[in-house]
């Protein structure tokens, strides 16, 4: 920290992004990216004309993409907010709706407390239950900004829609953010509730099921009022928060929605097969409805399994939080990548004795 930094940020906690290695080619199962390329329509969307148009600013309203997303999710364009990755929206949500404080589960996406601290939003956490499920009753009726990742990360467990609805209904007058970064891998989306609740903000991303993490595109669906609040903050910070190329790619991706749905189904099948194989090896893991597995084995701790895999060319996640130091999070890659991973883990466990 330099002597120039505002003293407000002296103790600022930051988020540590997952490793993006440059030293060699790994099988990358550490940051929940898709193993599949974006759709052929997305791959063909940018020609020299689009690149030449970079001399122009992007449309701050993102009108074309908002219209397409509105059509896809059965809402109006005024109910869609576009962002530079969904982290951008979560940041705005804490900034905009945290006046009375915030509440979220205690094992969840580790960026939430960082945003809360950044915007000086006092927050409380509600521990997950023993089986890692979210304690909906514990989170309900707090009269604060409530943030639920569904499916949750890093557990992969999803709440059924009636429980999400109960949470939203318990908190009238306060925003409930449902972060659906992983919703396309088998969970039910709270977008179905949008007509009934003005306090619901559903946050989604192109980074996972749509294979576009590098394009940085997220969006939120909500009531016109909530979207207008987010727009206000956007126009007070960075009106061109989504660049021209990404807007174009985003439209091409909506046009090829069936391609991405088919990829998600492939990933789900690979996930369930991988989960069965890991259980046969003695791993314990919750039933994931995301594109990753949260796994633990009695004979090896998380940091060690991570290290052993890394030496052999596969990256997975481990956690510094002592409560989950026994765990690893493994992104679901392509079928062959997971076969390689499983063979490697079998060898490692054999070596560990």
List interacting residues with ligand PMP (CB under 6 A): 85-87, 109, 149, 153, 179, 181, 205, 207, 213, 218
Least distance in angstroms from the C-beta of 329 to ligand PMP: 10
CB of 242 to ligand PMP, least distance (A): 12
Burial label for 235, CB within 10 Å (0-12, 13-18, 19+), is exposed
CB of 94 to ligand PMP, least distance (A): 13
The C-alpha atoms of residue 271 and residue 294 are separated, in whole angstroms, by 11
User: Per-residue b/e over 58-87, b at no fewer than 16 CB within 10 Å?
Assistant: beeebeebbebbbeebebebebbbbbbbbb
CB nearer to ligand PMP: pick between 58 and 205:
205
Q: Which is nearer to ligand PMP, 86 or 223 (CB)?
A: 86
Nearest distance in Å: CB 127, ligand PMP: 18
Closer Cβ to ligand PMP, 69 or 348, answer by number: 69
Looking at the Cβ atoms of 87 and 229, the one nearer to ligand PMP is 87
Contacts of 207 (CB under 8 A, 6+ apart): 32, 33, 85, 86, 181, 213, 216, 217, 218
> What crossing angle do the helices spanning 244-255 and 63-73 adopt, rounded to 10°?
30
Residue with smaller CB distance to ligand PMP, 202 or 300: 202
In the complex with ligand PMP, which residue's Cβ is closer, 181 or 345? 181
Give whichever of 87 and 337 is closer to ligand PMP, judged by the CB atom. 87
Of residues 151 and 302, the one with the C-beta less far from ligand PMP: 151
Residue 109 CB, nearest approach to ligand PMP (Å): 4
Taking the C-alpha atoms of residue 238 and residue 39, their distance in angstroms, rounded to an integer, is 29
CB of 83: closest distance to ligand PMP in angstroms?
8
As measured in angstroms, the least distance from the Cβ of 167 to ligand PMP is 16
Shortest Cβ 265–ligand PMP spacing (Å): 21
Minimum Å gap between C-beta 295 and ligand PMP is 17
Q: Which residue of this chain has its Cβ atom nearest to ligand PMP in the complex?
A: 85
Which lies closer to ligand PMP via its Cβ, residue 220 or residue 300?
A: 220
């Amino acid at each position: 920290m330099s002597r120039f930094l505002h003293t407000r940020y002296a103790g600022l906690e930051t988020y540590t992004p997952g490793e993006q290695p440059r030293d060699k080619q790994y099988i990358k199962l550490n940051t929940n990216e898709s193993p599949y390329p974006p759709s052929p329509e997305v791959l063909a969307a940018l020609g020299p004309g689009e690149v030449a148009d970079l001399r122009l600013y992007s449309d701050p309203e993102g009108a074309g993409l908002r219209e397409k997303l509105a059509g896809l999710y059965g809402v109006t364009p005024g109910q869609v907010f576009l962002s530079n990755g969904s982290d951008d929206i979560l940041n705005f949500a804490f900034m905009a709706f945290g006046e009375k404080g915030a509440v979220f589960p205690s094992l969840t996406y580790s960026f939430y407390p960082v945003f809360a601290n950044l915007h000086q939003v006092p927050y409380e956490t509600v521990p997950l239950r023993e089986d890692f499920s979210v304690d909906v009753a514990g989170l309900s009726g707090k009269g604060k900004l409530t943030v639920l990742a569904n499916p949750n990360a890093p557990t992969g467990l999803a709440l059924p829609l009636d429980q999400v609805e109960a949470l939203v209904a318990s908190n009238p007058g306060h925003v409930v953010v449902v972060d659906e970064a992983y919703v396309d891998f088998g969970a039910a989306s709270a977008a179905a509730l949008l007509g009934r609740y003005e306090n619901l903000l559903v946050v989604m991303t192109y980074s996972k099921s749509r294979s576009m993490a590098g394009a940085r595109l997220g969006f939120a669906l909500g009531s016109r009022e909530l979207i207008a609040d987010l727009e206000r903050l956007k126009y007070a910070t960075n009106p061109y928060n989504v660049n021209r190329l990404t807007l174009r790619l985003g439209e091409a991706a909506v046009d090829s929605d069936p391609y991405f749905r088919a990829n998600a189904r492939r990933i789900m099948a690979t996930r369930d097969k991988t989960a069965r194989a890991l259980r046969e090896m003695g791993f314990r893991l919750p039933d994931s409805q995301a594109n990753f597995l949260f796994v633990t084995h009695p004979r090896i701790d998380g940091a060690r399994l991570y290290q052993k895999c890394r030496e052999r060319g596969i990256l997975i996640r481990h956690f510094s939080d002592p409560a989950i130091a026994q765990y690893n999070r493994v992104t679901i890659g392509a079928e062959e990548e997971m076969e390689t991973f499983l063979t490697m883990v079998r060898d490692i466990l054999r070596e560990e004795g």
